[in-house]
Amino acid sequence: MILVTGGAGFIGANFVLDWLNFSDEAVLNVDKLTYAGNLRTLQSLQNDERHVFVRADICDQASLSTLLAEHRPRAILHFAAESHVDRSIHGPADFVQTNVVGTFTLLEAARQYWNTLDAAGKAAFRFLHVSTDEVFGSLSETDSQFSEATPYAPNSPYSATKAGSDHLVRAYHHTYGLPVLTTNCSNNYGPYQFPEKLIPLMISNALAGKPLPVYGDGKNVRDWLYVGDHCSAIREVLARGMLGETYNIGGWNEKKNIDVVHTLCDQLNRLRPKEQGSYHDQITYVTDRPGHDRRYAIDARKLERELGWKPTETFETGIARTVQWYLDNQPWVDEIISGDYRKWVETNYTQRA
């Protein structure tokens, strides 16, 4: 069995579904079910004995220790995190608690559990920490891509707390010998993403006839990684990654935000045309967010060189799959757009117009 934290969130749930599609090894799925956790994403596993879901907080060490002792997983994959930059600007305390304190608590529980294993169990155990490229800060248009050796320079409370969690994971390997692996990924997109992030937000707003809010001049650049490719990379790192190492996971798809929005509009114009006009007409520029990093770009050559991994989806194929998924799964989107979510959109976008 493997233990997955945050397995009801966007990337974590996709990983759980992906894992059980490729493997019969059971998953212990631990999630607090905050606003971004959605068990409906895992509905297809409802009667699957390979999937054991437990609602628990990674800041609760007693619960974690009990679960580890009972289920005795061979690996922990740590996805659970507060992950939205805008939310971190308005409420940084939650990010410190989950991303720093939560990771520390999980590491302590893992270390104590690992110390109970026999020699073979210790050698086989893995703690894989899933992180972000945002810990490296911002690039100019001419800077080289982030590599695993790029110094950390986080610019938001979100990225600062993820950087802190990365450092804790590294320290537990060097101080205690805990067998850890860390991945730093670029911007993920794909099915089941909560509609506060750029791509699902734009799809949702476009279909609802609402403005498509673009920060600043829209020229901020991100490297886009299809979530299915991210899941396959994590499987490879878990299976064959070198202990104590970090691996950058990227899609080799640098795109300006405004170009992503125009691509989405083109897709929707083709697949779900409006009675009048174009979805492009809904694009609205809003005041930029504080400290908005200009460019992220991942150099994923180490992962390809050492483990033979590279993405299978181009941005064009991945975005087509993503748009079609959202068009085919509107009930999933409708269920999670709650009153709290609408209040959040009001805080972050309407007031910036």
Return all residues near 147 (Cβ < 8 A) that are at least 6 apart. 248, 299, 302
Rounded Cα–Cα distance for residues 266 and 142 (Å): 29
Q: Could you tell me which of 97, 60, 58, 109 has the C-alpha nearest to residue 80? A: 58
- Active site amino acids: 133-134, 158
Residue 50, φ and ψ in degrees, nearest 5: -75, -15
Coil vs helix vs strand at 215: strand
Q: 6: part of which helix (H) or strand (E)?
A: none
Helix (H) or strand (E) holding 282: none
**Sequence-ordered list of residues with C-beta below 8 angstroms from that of 320, at least 6 positions apart, any chain:** 267
Q: Which residues of 33-45 are buried (b: 16+ CB within 10 A; e: fewer)?
A: eeebbbbebbeeb
Closest to 4 (Cα-Cα) out of 180, 176, 190, 129: 129
Calculate the dihedral angle through the C-alpha atoms of 168, 170, 171, 172, rounding to the nearest 10 degrees: 90
